[in-house]
Structure 1
Amino acid sequence: MRRFRKTLTAAVLTTLLVGSTAGWASASSESAPSGPLPGTAAWLADSSLGKQLPDPATATPSEVAAFFAGLTDAQQRRLAEDHPTVVGNLDGTPVSLRYEANGPAGDRVLAYDPRGRGLIARVVGDLEHAAHVSVIVPGSDIDASTSDGTAQWAADLQEEAGDDTAVIAWAGYTTPSGIGPDLATGRLAGTGAERLARFTDGLDAAGLPDPSLFCHSYGSVVCGLAADDTDAGDIVVMGSPGMRADDVTALDTDARVWAAKSPDDWIDRVPHVEFLGLGHGADPTAPGFGARVLPADDVPAHDAYFTPGTSTLTAFAAIAGGDL
């Protein structure tokens, strides 16, 4: 009974502590966008090409890529102009066409879903010609309106890694907002993992290199759940509350798994347990987990792993650029 009480206490503490930097915003649950994107009905009804357009809900990224490969440049551009919300979010669509469709949302936007809090993926570097691609998966309280910090991380990583590397700031899933049960459960992470896996499938279908995933805080839960469904060559987690796996083997991935945790990161106070659906499990930096642990002693805070001059950013850039 004493052990039961200890485990339950740890799980409750996890609920309270996982999002301790998120502020006392709200304890309500978030709802991820569901159903078809705005404009899908018009897209499916478009018969101007004399053939059915791929259904965004059922077509795989490789099927989408094959469809666009069979169109002329003019036909592609007309679809982007007539159906920007669909084309701009359809994984497997050529990169340049997604940029064109998402033009109103800003430069080099690879995805933009205006529903709810908004989802967005922004690119730093020349993605279409990159030898190396990285995707940053952020943690809680990040959406289309609060993703500038993640975009700055992408810029700092890309600058350190070099011109042959492109970095995507992927605020492409509904993150937990404020302090509440979403922070300590895998509900939103599970939906995010499905979106991340499809997104990386889309990169592959567009002919891009296998990505490296850089997963911060709750984003590492997303990456843990997506690990067996993505072709990432490297998965790097930092400030992680856990990956919902006991060890690297349980992730069932061929990717190299790396982990970093600063001694000044508040995440170290979060119990690494999973009980009755609360908590995210083992510490990825623990010796028994099996990840390759990166130095992080000079990282001053939970949100500072991409700070220029830190040992973590140097290591991240080496991984992103294929030098480590």
Structure 2
Amino acid sequence: MRRFTRTLAAVALATTVVAGNVGWASGSARTAVTGPPPGSASWRADESTGRELPDPGRATPGQVRSFFRGLGAAEQRELLERHPSVVGNLDGVPLELRYRANARALRASQDPRYVRLAAPGRQILAFDPRGRGLVAEVFGDLRSARRVSVVVPGSDIDAGSFDRRGNVYGTPVGMAKSLYAEAGAGHAVIAWAGYTTPVGLGLDAATGTLAAAGAERLTRFTAGLAADGLPAPAVFCHSYGSVVCGLAASGLGATDLVVLGSPGMRADDVAGLGTTARVWAAKDDTDWIDDIPHVEVAGLGHGADPADEDFGARRVPADDAKGHTGYFVPGTDSLRAFAAIAERAS
């Protein structure tokens, strides 16, 4: 009977996507930003250091880190000035250089979307203007932090909405700043909008194509943190971001994996994620995500509900988190639980 019910739900989901009726609506597909950072061709051709530079498309974050350790300060500065987009986005480059490189690239940008990101004092760990724009920002002192958290957002996030003023706690910056304030001293939080997200509830949101591309980028990003000697992170994944995290789970090296408002992680249960991280799930009763069928058929839908008891995740209280973007609102039980999870990450 349960299998029959799930099959009916899957058929309903597929029909809804194709017809463009209630719930998942049809929409044009987005092209994911993939591959090495912009400016990589110029970087590969640069012989100014007298040695071959690590290939941005093939070198591991560990290899990148080793290369930069072998450079003097003047050589590092020269590469930063000649190739700010590569230095600022290449995982394994020391974070201090990435901050400086991205500040330089943002100041040089003519796009009005990036004016606020270029403000002095912001710690931009990644800035890629391709597509709708990819950004990562750090709150706190990442170098000295004893605990690190990464926030992965869901749909409708790009460089323009990264820190929008409306619906603040549905933005990467709003979520990260709220967690940072609650977690207190010794923590650093990274708002990571480093993948191409779906727009609206279209076909992209119902499939895993963008999530798969995002998972590859997220895995490399966390490998870069590890190569730079930073603590293993707790990763907080909102909405479609939890699909990204589900596909990336086995390679994240995370201490904790926390999903909230999740449409599914493309796994039947915690064991299917292939991770040693502690897995947590939060979903409040007023979140519209609960109306989405938690099934997967013919590539549509994202599978089991991580907040369901059978999935095996540890449940995060979310009784007073209202709606789909209320989990990081100050004063909520969910935010307090998130801070406690971040505190124990090690």
User: Are 1:32 and 2:32 an aligned pair?
Assistant: yes
Q: Classify the secondary structure of the residue corresponding to 2:81.
A: helix
Give the one of 110, 124, 131 matched to 1:109.
124
Q: Report the Cα distance in structure 2 between the residues aligned to 1:229 and 1:70, rounded to whole angstroms.
A: 27
Deviation digits for residues 32-78 of structure 1 (CA, Å, limit 9, x no counterpart): 12454332122111111110000000000000000001111121111
Code of the residue aligned with 2:272 in structure 1: it is A
What RMSD in Å do the two structures reach over aligned CA positions? 2.1
User: Are 1:57 and 2:68 an aligned pair?
Assistant: no
Q: Classify the secondary structure of the residue corresponding to 2:344.
A: coil
- Offset, 1:204: 0.2
Cross-structure match for 2:144: 129
Aligned pairs, number: 320
Structure 2 segments unaligned to the other structure (5+ residues): 107-117, 164-170
Q: Report the Cα distance in structure 1 between the residues aligned to 2:87 and 2:258, rounded to whole angstroms.
A: 30
Moved segments of 4+, more than 4 Å: 2-6, 13-20
Deviation digits for residues 120-144 of structure 1 (CA, Å, limit 9, x no counterpart): 0011110111111111000001011
Q: Report the Cα distance in structure 2 between the residues aligned to 1:216 and 1:276, rounded to whole angstroms.
A: 24
Cross-structure match for 1:74: 74
Q: Classify the secondary structure of the residue corresponding to 1:79.
A: helix
Give the one of 172, 188, 204 matched to 1:182.
204
1:153-172 superposed matches below 5 A: 153-172=175-194
Q: Classify the secondary structure of the residue corresponding to 2:179.
A: helix
Q: Report the Cα distance in structure 2 between the residues aligned to 1:37 and 1:58, rounded to whole angstroms.
A: 12
Cross-structure match for 1:237: 259
Cross-structure match for 1:322: 344
Cross-structure match for 1:9: 12
Deviation digits for residues 89-123 of structure 1 (CA, Å, limit 9, x no counterpart): 00000000000000143320000111110100011
Q: Report the Cα distance in structure 2 between the residues aligned to 1:268 and 1:34, rounded to whole angstroms.
A: 31
Q: Normalising by structure 1, what TM-score?
A: 0.94
1:172-211 superposed matches below 5 A: 172-211=194-233
Residues 43 and 136 of structure 1, relative CA distance in 2, 3 Å threshold = same
Cross-structure match for 2:245: 223
Q: Classify the secondary structure of the residue corresponding to 1:321.
A: helix
Provide the identity percentage.
59
Q: Report the Cα distance in structure 2 between the residues aligned to 1:14 and 1:299, rounded to whole angstroms.
A: 29
Residues 63 and 132 of structure 1, relative CA distance in 2, 3 Å threshold = same
Of residues 105-114 and 225-234 in structure 1, the stretch that sits farther from structure 2 once superposed is 105-114
- Offset, 1:194: 0.4
1:276-315 superposed matches below 5 A: 276-315=298-337
Of residues 232-241 and 73-82 in structure 1, the stretch that sits farther from structure 2 once superposed is 73-82
- Offset, 1:17: 9.1
**1:212–1:233: 8 Å Cα contact kept in structure 2?**
yes
Q: Report the Cα distance in structure 1 between the residues aligned to 2:183 and 2:22, rounded to whole angstroms.
A: 30
Q: Classify the secondary structure of the residue corresponding to 2:89.
A: coil
Q: Normalising by structure 2, what TM-score?
A: 0.88
Cross-structure match for 2:99: 99
**2:33–2:130: 8 Å Cα contact kept in structure 1?**
yes
Q: Classify the secondary structure of the residue corresponding to 1:116.
A: coil
- Offset, 1:280: 0.4
Cross-structure match for 2:110: none
Q: Classify the secondary structure of the residue corresponding to 1:136.
A: strand
Deviation digits for residues 8-28 of structure 1 (CA, Å, limit 9, x no counterpart): 1144447869977xxx8x811
Q: Report the Cα distance in structure 1 between the residues aligned to 2:137 and 2:345, rounded to whole angstroms.
A: 24
Residues 308 and 231 of structure 1, relative CA distance in 2, 3 Å threshold = same
Deviation digits for residues 173-214 of structure 1 (CA, Å, limit 9, x no counterpart): 000012311111000000000000000000000000001100
Residues 12 and 306 of structure 1, relative CA distance in 2, 3 Å threshold = farther
User: Are 1:141 and 2:189 an aligned pair?
Assistant: no
